[in-house]
Amino acid sequence: MLGMANFFSTQDTRLAAGARILLPAVWLGLIIGISLIEAPLKFTAPGITIPLGLGIGRLVFGAMNWVELVIAVILLWAMLKTGVDRVYRALTSGLIGILIIKVIVIRPLLNERTNAVLAGTDDGGSALHLFYIAADGLLIIGLVTTLVVAVRRWVTVRPAAG
């Protein structure tokens, strides 16, 4: 019975270690794909009007934010499941903090602006998008740094093949 408990403990640790590398990579790819590629290109497509682009953007970014939250929760589990150093813990905590600000503060304000633009009571000019872009920029920097730290940690503790 003790052997089975050790097996699950080892498997959980490996799963958590893998998640600490895989999840930041997936999250980074998500931000690059949506924020840096899809969003700017959307408005260059033939026939896309501002209201249509805003409606699509609201759906896409809403879905992206939900996926980011799921990734963040699993990443938090992976961080708490096994011992991680202070640097990784600080990076992960910072990423989660930025995401919370992005989802709870910035997105609702952007939704209000989108509603006003769609209702025709606002021309759409706003610095709010710059805050969202800045949050994503910080996430990109933080995710790359987190990946580097996680991979270095994995490489140094990984047993040599033999």
Domain boundaries, the chain: 10-156
The pTM of this model reads: 0.84
pLDDT in tens, 119-158: 888 776 678 889 999 999 999 999 999 999 988 877 776 5
The answer to whether the CB of 74 falls within 8 A of the CB of 19 is yes
pLDDT in tens, 58-79: 999 999 999 999 999 999 988 8
Q: Would the CA dihedral through 141, 145, 146, 151 be positive or negative? A: positive
pLDDT in tens, 18-35: 888 999 999 999 999 999
